[in-house]
């Protein structure tokens, strides 16, 4: 079983240690490989690269100008192709040639969480489990919901079972976990925070409406036959930064605890 982790420079060790801690108390845990997808160069004093804005930005339309944020062209389709056609075969055939693979998962936080949702909607058979933490659902005035509604209104998509099995995912329909922190929309004033700083922080997070958007996404997907399960996880005492690590650990539990549903069964 393989967990592909986006923003690997920030989350690789978190994911690896989560798997190691779980093994200590879950002796039946299947063997797990963590593949972190990161960058060789980062922003100053940051675990993130500015290249993520290019690679993880989902497309709106072929001829549209670049969105105001992040004001760079989308490279999501090429990035998806890289993961599926270059990285995954390299992991399976070169790095671990003697390993038998069963299921794969994809995890992303924030802008990467939006990317995870885009992959789920456009390529549901690419991974067995999709985990999206604090996704940037607000991006481009909630564009992802327009994409989602278009797919739902056109009828539930039937997955190609042969394609799913060929990719190594032994399920017909994927599972999806959404996570967010309550403090992302309903913050608590810090003990030493001035009136000015408190108001500035409220104004900053107000447009994101993280709880509202995640709950809306959950309501749309929970009744869909396109996924075998959807889970909404709220962290009542976590803000945006804290959710990235907490949801990674819980997402790994979610992925490993889902027994595969063999295609055709």
Give the pLDDT confidence score for residue 97 in this predicted structure.
93
Q: Give the model's pLDDT for residue 126.
A: 94
45 domain-assigned:
no
- Biggest distance spanned by C-alpha atoms of the chain: 60
pLDDT for 258 equals 63
Structural domain span for residue 109: 2-39+102-256
Find out whether 118 and 252 touch, Cβ atoms under 8 Å.
no
pLDDT value for 101 = 87
Bridge partners (DSSP) of residue 2 are 33, 104
pLDDT for the residue numbered 178? 98
Structural domains in the chain (count): 1
* Predicted pLDDT at 65: 61
For residue 241, tell me if it sits in a domain: yes
Q: Taking a C-beta distance cutoff of 8 angstroms, is the pair 34, 13 a contact?
A: no
| Helix, strand, or coil (residue 51) | coil
Residues 6+ apart with CB under 8 A from 133: 107, 108, 109, 110, 113, 178, 179, 180, 243, 244, 247, 248, 251
pLDDT, residue 84, reads 96
Q: Is residue 61 part of a domain?
A: no
Model pLDDT, residue 120? 94
In a domain, 79, yes or no: no
| Backbone dihedral angles phi then psi of residue 15, each to the nearest 5 degrees | -65, -40
In a domain, 84, yes or no: no
Beta partners for residue 33, in sequence order: 2
Contacts of 194 (CB under 8 A, 6+ apart): none
Instruction: Supply the pLDDT for residue 171.
Output: 47
Query: Residue 234's beta-bridge partner residues?
Result: 180
**Over the chain (265 residues), what is each successive 10-residue block's mean pLDDT?**
92 91 79 92 88 88 65 86 96 93 93 96 92 95 85 46 38 86 96 97 95 95 86 96 94 79 40
What are φ and ψ of residue 204, in 5° steps?
A: -65, -45
pLDDT for the residue 187: 96
How many Cβ atoms sit within 10 Å of the Cβ of residue 50?
A: 13
- Residue 224 maps to a domain: yes
Asked whether residue 128 is assigned to any structural domain, the reply reads yes
Specify whether the backbone of 27 is left (phi greater than 0), alpha (psi in -120 to 50) or beta: alpha
Sign of CA dihedral 237, 105, 59, 222: negative
Asked, for residue 89, whether it belongs to a domain, the answer is no
For the domain that residue 22 is a member of, what is the CATH number? 3.40.50.1820
Q: What is the pLDDT of residue 62?
A: 59
For 111, residues 6+ apart whose C-beta sits below 8 A from its C-beta are 52, 53, 56, 57, 136, 139
Sign of CA dihedral 106, 109, 110, 111: negative
Residues 6+ apart with CB under 8 A from 171: 103, 128, 164, 228, 260, 261, 262, 263
Range 231-242 burial, b when 16+ CB lie within 10 A, else e: ebbbbeebbbee
């Amino acid at each position: 079983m393989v967990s592909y982790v986006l923003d690997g420079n920030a989350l690789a060790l978190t994911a690896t240690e989560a798997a190691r801690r779980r093994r200590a108390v879950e002796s039946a845990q299947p063997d797990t490989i963590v593949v972190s997808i990161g960058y060789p160069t980062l922003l100053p004093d940051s675990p993130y690269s500015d290249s993520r804005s290019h690679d993880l930005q989902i497309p709106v339309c072929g001829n549209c100008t670049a969105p105001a944020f992040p004001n760079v062209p989308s490279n999501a389709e090429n990035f998806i192709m890289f993961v599926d056609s270059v990285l995954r075969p390299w992991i399976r055939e070169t790095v671990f040639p003697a390993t038998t693979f069963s299921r794969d998962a994809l995890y992303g936080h924030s802008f990467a969480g939006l990317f995870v949702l885009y992959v789920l909607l456009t390529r549901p058979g690419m991974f067995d489990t999709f985990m999206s933490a604090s996704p940037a659902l607000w991006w481009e005035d909630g564009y992802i919901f327009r994409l989602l509604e278009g797919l739902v209104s056109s009828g539930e998509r039937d997955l190609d079972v042969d394609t799913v099995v060929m990719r190594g995912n032994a399920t017909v329909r994927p599972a999806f976990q959404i996570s967010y922190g309550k403090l992302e929309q309903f913050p608590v004033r810090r003990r030493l925070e001035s009136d000015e700083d408190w108001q500035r922080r409220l104004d900053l997070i107000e447009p994101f409406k993280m709880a509202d958007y995640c709950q809306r996404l959950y309501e749309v997907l929970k009744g869909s036959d396109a996924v075998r399960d959807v889970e909404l996880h709220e962290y009542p005492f976590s803000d945006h930064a804290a959710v990235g690590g907490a949801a990674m650990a819980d997402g790994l539990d979610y992925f490993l605890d889902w027994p595969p549903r063999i295609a055709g069964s």
